[in-house]
Structure 1
């Protein structure tokens, strides 16, 4: 059995938060990509990964209607949730998942999320014993490292996250003293990939935690978990995660990518 198949069908479920009123691309889940709604492409990726169940957690009946006959379940959730995590916690209750169920949170704007990456984050959760897991990928250029929109992280020897930051961490004292135009030859830097897995019980617990000071400073929700003293296992993504769809330009790029795969 290959390494990639260790978290196979039956080990995890996927939940996709899909809010209709996206600020930069209104109605984003229903925007057409290759003739099908964006959220349907994401759901198909989850099904290809071998999830036992795939749920879309939404606040709009138009999204539910677009998913009829797709093989996924729909949870109609409150329109008042502040975050996708809050929406998924309600989905967990609607779906009736027990506290030990492994839930992968796949963002509803990632139509090209690789199946092996979805399995990898589920496997990181199951193998580590941590209540939460995520993925990272090596940083290969200084521009990404110094970009505050690219979230970086550092890991402990056991693979658990020590910290997430918009700052370039770890800071190479001697290397960056001489130049910030290229990465020093010594050291490895990691960029966070925004896919998560949780035990359903911890997902419910997480949404009840008050926002921490670090979360508010960096505007990174996952820091709430670390500041409260909980573990987040971090695995390296086995393949690249293409950028998600946030703007009309992103949608046009995704359409071109889809046509290139045809």
Structure 2
């Protein structure tokens, strides 16, 4: 069962323009992400999917594989194009965010194992316990609630579940019932191609969460848990902290 990792990579970013090509560490952000993902033991192939010639050339420059796509509204659509035109033998495709240079390769392996061991699921993703009130109340942090079998029941930007009789801070951090959704997905090939042909659904449009399209159309998304979150790079401060961590780690 061939498993392919795809890193969707756009050059434009509203909060940090050109972030994937930032290189204060001596290598670009996209190279850091590539090298971290390449340490996965379960990926048979890894490729960057981009609409940017600059990113394409940067990836080829460090020896990575890249595919030039058309313009797309989302990374999922970009991955679907690569699946149709380049990764014809892939049974499972893993969506790896290009701005997560410290992605743990074992997370990727866990995600793939999760989907392979969940034959009724069309997708799999990961989550981690929320341990701070700030993160719980932050609408940019997506929360997920699950069924007893570990599949996703709903995703929201609001704190779910709501605790009617208990103040949230009394449960944090040790008794947290809240899960932070991580933007790492694995798809079965047929489902990915079907999903990207479906128009945005009502709940997806309200919450601006693409994974709700899958739930609204009846898909099962299996959710695995990990001990700590991944760290994405969205702002100049995020990048500065990453550079500092990297420099400390190499000294």
CA distance in 2, matches of 1:181, 1:240: 19
Residue 104 (structure 1) aligned with residue 88 (structure 2): no
Q: Give, in angstroms, the shift of residue 11 of structure 1.
A: 5.1
The alignment's C-alpha RMSD in Å is 1.8
Q: 2:235 aligns with which of 237, 240, 247?
A: 247
| TM alignment of 1:80-99, pairs within 5 A | 80-98=71-89
Specify every segment of 5 or more residues in structure 2 that has no aligned partner in the other structure, as ranges: none
Q: Secondary structure at the residue paired with 1:67? A: helix
Q: Give, in angstroms, the shift of residue 187 of structure 1.
A: 6.3
Cα pair 2:111 2:124 within 8 Å, conserved: yes
Q: Give, in angstroms, the shift of residue 74 of structure 1.
A: 1.0
Instruction: Flag the 1:132–1:242 CA change in 2: closer, same or farther, 3 A.
Output: closer
Q: 1:30 aligns with which of 21, 24, 42?
A: 21
Q: Corresponding residue for 1:45?
A: 36
Instruction: Flag the 1:124–1:104 CA change in 2: closer, same or farther, 3 A.
Output: same
- The alignment's TM-score, normalised by the length of structure 2, stands at 0.92
Cα pair 1:134 1:235 within 8 Å, conserved: yes
Q: Secondary structure at the residue paired with 2:182? A: strand
Q: 2:143 aligns with which of 152, 171, 187?
A: 152
Q: 2:52 aligns with which of 51, 57, 60?
A: 60
Cα pair 1:14 1:53 within 8 Å, conserved: yes
| TM alignment of 1:170-249, pairs within 5 A | 170-175=161-166, 179-183=167-171, 188-237=177-226, 239-249=227-237
Q: Give, in angstroms, the shift of residue 206 of structure 1.
A: 1.1
- The alignment's TM-score, normalised by the length of structure 1, stands at 0.88
CA distance in 2, matches of 1:154, 1:71: 40
Cα pair 1:156 1:162 within 8 Å, conserved: yes
**Paired positions, count:** 247
Q: Which moved more, 1:116-125 or 1:141-150?
A: 141-150
Q: Corresponding residue for 1:119?
A: 109
Specify every segment of 5 or more residues in structure 1 that has no aligned partner in the other structure, as ranges: 1-9
Q: Secondary structure at the residue paired with 1:72? A: coil
Cα pair 2:130 2:176 within 8 Å, conserved: no
Q: Corresponding residue for 1:4?
A: none
Instruction: Flag the 1:25–1:236 CA change in 2: closer, same or farther, 3 A.
Output: same
Instruction: Flag the 1:105–1:33 CA change in 2: closer, same or farther, 3 A.
Output: farther
Q: Give, in angstroms, the shift of residue 97 of structure 1.
A: 2.4
CA distance in 2, matches of 1:37, 1:187: 36
Cα pair 2:6 2:96 within 8 Å, conserved: yes
